[in-house]
Amino acid sequence: MDYIKVDVANYVRQGLENKTLEPIVAEKFARIIAKQGNVGDQVISWSVDSQGNEIQEKVDQVKLDKTTNEPGWIVTKVDENGELIVDNNEHLNQWIIEDSTFKKKYEADLENPGLFKPTGGPQVFVQIKDNIILNQWGSDMQIAAGGYINITNPNDLYGISQRDFEDTYKIVSELNKSKQK
């Protein structure tokens, strides 16, 4: 399966202009466990393509956050019972988040000690039609067709696989369809 390297801002802008990408609104519901990493800790994020084959999405290392001067967080998605999510290829659903981003997007879940819950409200996404490679936070990430790009903040566009989106978000509305009613 071929992947095309894209400039994410141009890809989104062109897709919205020619209507190949349609914005949707979704809200995060998934809980996570997280620990502040040590600079240099490495995490490999895995996903699957449209045929279910494993793809290495991204290799990342914990770095110092330029805003807080604190190391990033290693985050692992858990199911509704707080159990670690392991995919069919025996990979943890794990990634790294900068310290300042983590503190904006998550808070301790007081009803479930050891877990964190998302903060904030609805976010805007587009679902991609192509297999793409985008540069995300300083490293390349592969996202198979069917994945999503978060376009809520034009200065912080980022991708998420279809599987991870479906495990993390619920769609609240489809913007263009609601405008047509």
pLDDT along the chain (181 residues), means of 10: 90 96 93 96 84 82 96 92 84 92 92 90 94 82 93 90 88 66 39
DSSP code of 52? S
Q: pLDDT tens digit string along 8-24? A: 999 999 999 999 999 99
b/e for 125-146, b at 16 or more Cβ within 10 A? bbbbebbbbbebeeeebbbbeb
Q: Is 70 exposed, middle or buried (0-12, 13-18, 19+ CB in 10 A)?
A: middle
Any idea where the domains of the chain sit in the sequence?
Answer: 4-180
Q: pLDDT tens digit string along 117-131? A: 999 889 999 999 999
Q: Please name which of 161, 149, 181, 169 lies closest in space to residue 58, comparing C-alpha atoms.
A: 161
